[in-house]
Amino acid sequence: MRATSRILAALLLASSAVAQSQPTLESGSVIAAAERLKAGEYLWAPGIAPEGPVLLVVSLATQRAVIYRNGVPIGITTISSGRPGYRTPTGVFTILQRHVEHYSSLYNNAPMPYMQRLTWGGVALHAGDLPGYPASHGCIRLPRDFAKLLYGVTRLGMTVVVTDEAAVPRVAPAEALLQGQAMAAAPAAGSAWRPQASPSGPVSLVISAADRRVIVLRNGVVIGSAPVTIDGQIDRTSAFVMQNGGAAGRSWLRVPLPGQTAASAGPELRGRIHVEDRFRQAVEAVLRPGTTVLVTPDSLRAGSTGQSATVVEG
Nearest to 58 by CA among 118, 128, 120: 118
| Residue 275 burial (CB count, 10 A) | 23
The full DSSP string for 97-161 is EEESS-B-TTTTT-B-TTEEES-TTS-EEEE----SS--BSS-EEE-HHHHHHHHHH--TT-EEE
How far is residue 7's CA from residue 30's CA, in Å, rounded to a whole number? 8
Q: What are phi and psi of 4, to 5 degrees?
A: -65, -40
Cβ atoms of 276 and 191 within 8 Å: the answer is: yes
The maximal CA–CA distance of the chain, rounded, in angstroms, is: 60
C-alpha distance across the termini of the chain, in Å: 40
pLDDT of residue 114: 93
Residue 5 backbone phi and psi in degrees, to 5: -65, -40
61: which residues sit within 8 A by CB, 6+ positions away?
Answer: 163, 164, 165, 166, 258
Kindly tell me the sign of the dihedral angle through the C-alpha atoms of 160, 165, 168, 169: negative
The mean of the pLDDT values for the chain is 74
Contact between residue 268 and residue 175 where contact means Cβ atoms under 8 Å apart: yes
Q: What is the pLDDT of residue 32?
A: 64
Report the pLDDT value the prediction gives residue 49, as an integer from 0 to 100: 79
Provide the pLDDT for residue 53. 72
Which parts of the chain sit beneath pLDDT 50?
A: 1-5, 7-28, 167-188, 262-265, 300-308, 314
- Rounded to two decimals, the pTM is 0.65
Q: What is the pLDDT of residue 214?
A: 87
